[in-house]
Amino acid sequence: MEFSIKQSSPENQRSACVVLGIFEGGQLAPAAHALDQSVNHQLSDLIARGDMTGKSGSTVMIPSLSGVTTERVLLVGLGKPDEFNAKQFLDMLRTTFAALHKTICKDAALYFTDLPVKDRDEIWKIQQIVLIGAESAYRADGLKSKPADKPVLRKILLGSAKKPDSAAVTALHQASAIAHGMKLAKDLGNLPGNICTPSYLAEQANKLAGEHKLKATILEEKDMEKLGMHSLLSVTHGSRQPAKLITLEYRGGDKKQKPVVLVGKGLTFDSGGISLKPGADMDEMKYDMCGAASVLGTMLAVAEMSLKINLVAVIPSSENMPDGAASKPGDIVKSMAGLTIEILNTDAEGRLILCDALTYAARFEPDTVIDIATLTGACVIALGGVASGLFSNQDQLARELLDAGEYSNDKAWQMPLWDDYQQQLDSNFADMQNIGGRAAGSVTAACFLSRFTKDYRWAHLDVAGTAWKSGKEKGSTGRPVPLLTQYLINRVNTTK
Ligand code: BES
Ligand code: MN
Ligand code: ZN
């Protein structure tokens, strides 16, 4: 879907459909009012007759309205004016795109950027129109022999009463980049484990580097061996697929500026290993590389935006499979940091690959390191699909990530990293064990990682509940690409 922004009045708009908002109680949003004036109050008449209530979730399509150049006018209910907040706006956008996709319209002009949304600016509205529009057109049909019908709606114009300023144009451009990053993350996430292997992810990183200003480096198992990454390597012992450590570097900032490093869990299939998972829904463990996918998506978005920042992606990627060579419960391995780990459950493998990747991340002399991982089922129980779990060793970083998530509609919620939890990882035989019992499962997983991140400012996002949806709507969400890119955009804007 293509988006553009332009000063335009709805009555003179030549598109297949003009979309206008109507508040409950009959109040016309500014653009609807303008159009109403030029069509002899036909809209007000329609509202007075009761054909459009303005209730949220409602839509009325007017096929041909005399006095306008557009072929159709779609009225969308906004609900009560004093309750029109961010959530209402987002729900209204989903309703709008669902209604448009039911028509034969190839293009539409949306007059939404002037709507007054509580606590939200124009830039936010532009961003969300693009993200929700792109989301509505997404199909995961690349592997069907007959692809699903492509949406006919291809072009969206954001109509605005005033001439869009440079901030609005930038917002549109950046939002399109975020949408592209989310699409990449979704495409990779939705691929099955037999296609999306660690080698496939490495190829995708190389491809990205070929297409954008990025440098890719792929470390093989023998390289990791030399670095002493025995914790990471222990996870891949049961797999026929070679593990990869993928790095991508983007240098858009000052040479001396320390980079942000994003570390993404890239488990292309997590069977649990010898601590085998139950069979039900095990297919969803193809999504265990969604942290990696979100990091690749963010790199793409940042490169497309030419953001003035230095950014590095580190992606440890492997499968977790049962096999004669696989790690066994009770095995003890030595991490790259020199700390020994007793593997009591081979299904707690994410932390085993991440700890070595986090140690490796220090080589880039980072300003900040953020890891993104589908780490624990416990996080799904705690926060469901609404918020990602956020842990950090620095409160200001946590605040910045929470704000970025709130703004971009990709929420996170902070969880504690108190030392009180660390003892749950005590082992009789090694420096630590890889599980901390049933209590506070997502916290003890984060505590495990925190032992490897003492030398830098660090945050961990547990996206086990937010990276994909289960059930009838099964599919990758592309989260947390919006949160991460927003955080990076905000960083650049505040250090300008
Ligand atoms: N990839 C899973 C986490 C997961 C499970 C994400 C279900 C989404 C849905 C991770 O590797 C895992 O298996 N974690 C275990 C840890 C436990 C053994 C301490 C879990 O959460 O059950
Ligand atoms: Mn696991
Ligand atoms: Zn896993």
pLDDT digits (tens, 9 = 90+) for 8-38: 999 999 999 999 999 999 899 889 999 999 9
Helices 166-190, 122-136: inter-axial angle, 10-degree rounding: 30
Q: Is 351 a catalytic residue?
A: yes
Helices 290-305, 481-495: inter-axial angle, 10-degree rounding: 40
pLDDT at 185 over 80: yes
The ligand minimizing its distance to the Cα of 284 is 1
- Please choose, from the candidates 385, 236, 395, the residue with its C-alpha nearest in 3D space to the C-alpha of residue 320: 236
Is the dihedral angle over the CA atoms 50, 85, 178, 269 positive or is it negative?
negative
Q: Are strands 475-476 and 412-414 parallel, antiparallel or unpaired?
A: unpaired
**Arithmetic mean of pLDDT, 433-456:** 98
CA 233 to chain centre: 28
**Arithmetic mean of pLDDT, 175-182:** 98
The ligand minimizing its distance to the Cα of 282 is 1
**pLDDT value, residue 156:** 98
What predicted TM-score, i.e. pTM, was given to this entire model? 0.98
Give tens-digit pLDDT for 413-442.
Answer: 999 999 999 999 999 999 999 999 999 999
Half-sphere exposure of 292 (CA within 13 A, CB side): 35
Are 449 and 434 in contact by the 8 Å Cβ rule? The answer is no
Which tokens in the block code for residue 145? 């022999």
Q: CA-to-CA distance for 443 and 463, rounded, in angstroms? A: 13
pLDDT at 259 over 80: yes
pLDDT category of residue 147 using cuts at 50, 70 and 90: confident
**Arithmetic mean of pLDDT, 274-278:** 98
Give tens-digit pLDDT for 201-229.
Answer: 999 999 999 999 999 999 999 999 999 99
Identify the residue whose C-alpha is closest to ligand 1 atom 8: 464
**Arithmetic mean of pLDDT, 49-55:** 96
Q: Of 235, 347, 424, 447, which is best to mutate to test ligand 1, by the most ligand atoms within 8 angstroms of its C-beta?
A: 347
Ligand 3 is a single-atom ion; what residues have CB below 5 A from it? 267, 270, 288, 350
Average pLDDT value for the chain? 97
Are 450 and 479 in contact by the 8 Å Cβ rule? The answer is no
**pLDDT value, residue 26:** 87
pLDDT at 111 over 70: yes
CA distances from 479 to 7, 86, 225, 247, 496 (A): 32, 19, 32, 20, 27
Q: Is the CB of 345 under 6 A from ligand 1?
A: yes
Q: Are strands 107-110 and 155-160 parallel, antiparallel or unpaired?
A: parallel
Pick the CATH number of 2-166 from 3.40.220.10, 3.40.50.2300, 3.90.79.10, 3.40.1440.10: 3.40.220.10
Cβ-based neighbour number of residue 166 at 10 Å: 7
Q: Is the CB of 135 under 6 A from ligand 1?
A: no
Q: Is the CB of 377 under 6 A from ligand 1?
A: yes
Identify the residue whose C-alpha is closest to ligand 1 atom 9: 377
- Please choose, from the candidates 386, 377, 339, the residue with its C-alpha nearest in 3D space to the C-alpha of residue 358: 339
Q: Is the CB of 382 under 6 A from ligand 1?
A: no
Q: Is the CB of 235 under 6 A from ligand 1?
A: no
Which architecture does CATH list for 177-494? 3-Layer(aba) Sandwich (3.40)
Residue 189's H or E segment, with its range, is helix 166-190
Q: Is the CB of 462 under 6 A from ligand 1?
A: no
Per-domain boundaries in the chain: 2-166, 177-494
pLDDT category of residue 496 using cuts at 50, 70 and 90: low
**Arithmetic mean of pLDDT, 65-94:** 96
**pLDDT value, residue 495:** 80
pLDDT at 184 over 90: yes
Identify the residue whose C-alpha is closest to ligand 1 atom 16: 348
Nearest atom in ligand 1 to the alpha carbon of residue 436 is 19
Ligand 2 is a single-atom ion; what residues have CB below 5 A from it? 270, 347, 349
The rounded percent of the chain whose pLDDT value lies above 70 is 100
Q: Is 469 a catalytic residue?
A: no
Q: Is the CB of 440 under 6 A from ligand 1?
A: no
